[in-house]
Amino acid sequence: MYQALYRKWRPRTFSDVCGQDTVTTALKNELQTGRLSHAYLFTGCRGTGKTTCAKILAKAVNCQSPVEGDPCNECALCRGIDDGSVLDVTEIDAASNNGVDSIRELRDEVAFTPVSGKYRVYIIDEVHMLSAGAFNALLKTLEEPPAHVIFILATTEVHKLPATILSRCQRFDFNRIRPEAIAARIQYVAEQEGLTVTEEAAMLLARLADGALRDGLSLLDQCASVARHIDADTVAAVTGMASQEVLAALTACVAAGDAAGALEQIDRLHRSAKDMERLCAEWVTYMRNLMVLHSVKEPGELVIAAPQELEQMRKAAAGLGLPTILHIMEVLQSTLERLKGGVSRRVEMEMAVLRLCDPRLDTGTAALLHRIETLENQVRSGVPVAQTAPPAVPATPVSATAPATEEPPLPEPPDTAKPEAPTAPAASAPGDEQPFPQWAAVLEVLMTSCPPLFGVLADSSAILKDGKLLICTNNPLFSELIKDSGNQKLLTEAVQKGTGSSYRLGLRRTHVVAKQEADPLTQLLAAGRAAGVPVTEKE
């Protein structure tokens, strides 16, 4: 009969248990010095060795020739306990047994001395499942345990235990097992079973196991049923996990704005029955790794990956700016939320990649930052910011073909409330508009004091009207940026520095319909305004 790998390779000594050194060292010490407790409580995540250690402890206290606290696994008692013929060790699964009855029986039994060993040992697994009545019965026994009785309680949910029980037990916390330790154990078991597992595959399995060695070994079992040689592709195929290459390719597509490529990837994954929610979650994790690699020099255990994967991710991270990474994560996170709602998954994923490929379709803060970053890079690398919009305002009074709208003055930063500051040259006549040649000097100041503002204003101009300085721009990012009081202040300062005077500032927006196809966001904003709809932030 086939025995699952995780059962077959259940450690039989404390020394064989991996990743729980604090627990196993302490237990071995107690065993060697004979300072045993009457009740132990093993808590921690599933699949980390609680039941395993309970079984080892039960043997170790009864073993006829223990070795440094470990059971010998050879003497009559060890073997009897293993095959269930020694009746002094009782395992109760609180999750399946009728709790109250078995605990009552136990209460009547404990008074009797052990039959063949030194101790009667009761292992109560998943002890949090006991009913209130059973807990009370257990408590009675725990209050005055006979000297020859040892209880080992194990649970994943220690918070469900009554304080009266907790206070009577010596508690041991089992940690999640570190991925390296899981990968090493997977390699060990594979070797014993005549399987070969690549380092990358072992690491992938370890990552999927998420701290639980049992899960890691179960996954190995699944892989072993399709191949004797297990590599990353085997793992990806068996677990339905998207390989790192797929995630890297998707990310590269959206970063390059390659919508066709991204949709093609989604289509391929969809056809190979890849679950879109899972894909989205894995992509989020991948981007999260890029984020960490971008921000931390020595990520250590923050990023779990095989060395070559790590190298690949490092490169990918370096090629993307942090705002871009955060933007992708933000879109994916909200997509993940919606995918959970059971919408059409494929469509949802496609919408996400489209939004990612064209940040202009997205008005979220992260998207705006991403756009600013792109502009900054263009400015820095000397690429002239594209002159998509026509010179915003003709030097002559606005003609009927380009109707201009004037918006309310920009909010004044708090510390610039100074009506009597060196006043601007008075306008010649109310309603008159004059070009404002010093604007270039203002922009020059902005270039160093506030590159993002400079980026969005690079192709703007300005006019003077009624003593007010109206900035002429169609760039919707400007309206976003100027909401920030820090930016307002920087702009006011730049005007002061570039012109030597203070002006009240305003925004002049020209709606030049013919040229607007360049920016869907502008269209959207303009349409909203025309309809009197307040244009709000995204979603």
Ligand X SMILES: Nc1ncnc2c1ncn2[C@@H]1O[C@H](COP(=O)(O)OP(=O)(O)O)[C@@H](O)[C@H]1O
Q: Which residues bind Zn ion (CB under 5 A)?
A: 63, 71-72, 75, 78
* 31, interface contact from ligand X, Zn ion, Mg ion, none, CB < 5-8 Å by kind: none
Residues 117-156, one symbol each (x = binds ligand X by CB under 6 A, - = not), give: -------------------------------------x--
Nearest distance in Å: CB 11, Zn ion: 15
Q: Does 43 bind ligand X (CB under 6 A)?
A: no
Q: Does 52 bind Mg ion (CB under 5 A)?
A: no
- Asked whether the beta carbons of 518 and 388 are under 8 A apart, the reply is yes
Q: Which two tokens stand for residue 484?
A: 């920030």
The single-letter code of the amino acid at 442 is V
- Asked whether the beta carbons of 169 and 122 are under 8 A apart, the reply is no
Nearest distance in Å: CB 180, Zn ion: 32
Interaction with ligand X in 50-109: which residues (CB under 6 A)? 50-52
Task: Give residue number: closest CB to Mg ion.
Answer: 51
Site size with ligand X, rule: CB under 6 A? 22
Give the binding range for ligand X (CB under 6 A) out of 4-12, 68-76, 313-321, 359-367: 4-12
- Tell me which of 14, 19, 102, 211 binds ligand X, using CB under 6 A: 19
Query: First vs last Cα of the chain: how many Å apart?
Result: 56
Q: Does 43 bind Mg ion (CB under 5 A)?
A: no
Q: Does 18 bind ligand X (CB under 6 A)?
A: yes
Distances (CA, A) of 409 to 42, 199, 469, 470, 503: 67, 63, 9, 9, 11
Strands 504-510 and 404-406: antiparallel
- Tell me which of 81, 161, 206, 213 binds ligand X, using CB under 6 A: 213
Q: Does 46 bind ligand X (CB under 6 A)?
A: yes
Interaction with ligand X in 163-202: which residues (CB under 6 A)? 177, 185
- Asked whether the beta carbons of 452 and 463 are under 8 A apart, the reply is no
Q: Which two tokens stand for residue 330?
A: 């933000």
Distance CA 190, CA 125 (A): 28
Nearest alpha carbon to residue 282 among 210, 227, 355: 210
The single-letter code of the amino acid at 374 is T
Q: Does 47 bind ligand X (CB under 6 A)?
A: yes
Q: Does 51 bind Mg ion (CB under 5 A)?
A: yes
In terms of C-beta distances under 8 Å and separation of at least 24 residues, what long-range contacts does 234-241 make, across chains too? 234/201, 235/201, 235/204, 235/205, 235/208, 236/204, 239/208, 240/273, 240/274, 240/275, 240/278, 241/204, 241/208, 241/278, 241/282
Q: How many CA atoms lie within 13 A of 522 on its CB side?
A: 19
Q: Does 24 bind ligand X (CB under 6 A)?
A: no
* 9, interface contact from ligand X, Zn ion, Mg ion, none, CB < 5-8 Å by kind: ligand X
Helix (H) or strand (E) holding 20: none
Q: Does 289 bind Mg ion (CB under 5 A)?
A: no
Nearest distance in Å: CB 71, Zn ion: 5
Q: Work out the number of other CB atoms within 10 angstroms of the CB of residue 11.
A: 18
Distance CA 235, CA 228 (A): 12
- Asked whether the beta carbons of 367 and 327 are under 8 A apart, the reply is yes
Q: Does 11 bind ligand X (CB under 6 A)?
A: yes
Q: Between 154 and 332, whose beta carbon lies closer to ligand X?
A: 154
Nearest distance in Å: CB 126, Mg ion: 7
* 48, interface contact from ligand X, Zn ion, Mg ion, none, CB < 5-8 Å by kind: ligand X
Q: Does 445 bind ligand X (CB under 6 A)?
A: no
Site size with Mg ion, rule: CB under 5 A? 2
Q: Does 10 bind ligand X (CB under 6 A)?
A: yes
Q: Does 217 bind ligand X (CB under 6 A)?
A: yes
Q: Which residues bind ligand X (CB under 6 A)?
A: 6-7, 9-11, 17-20, 46-52, 154, 177, 185, 213-214, 217
Q: Which residues bind Mg ion (CB under 5 A)?
A: 50-51
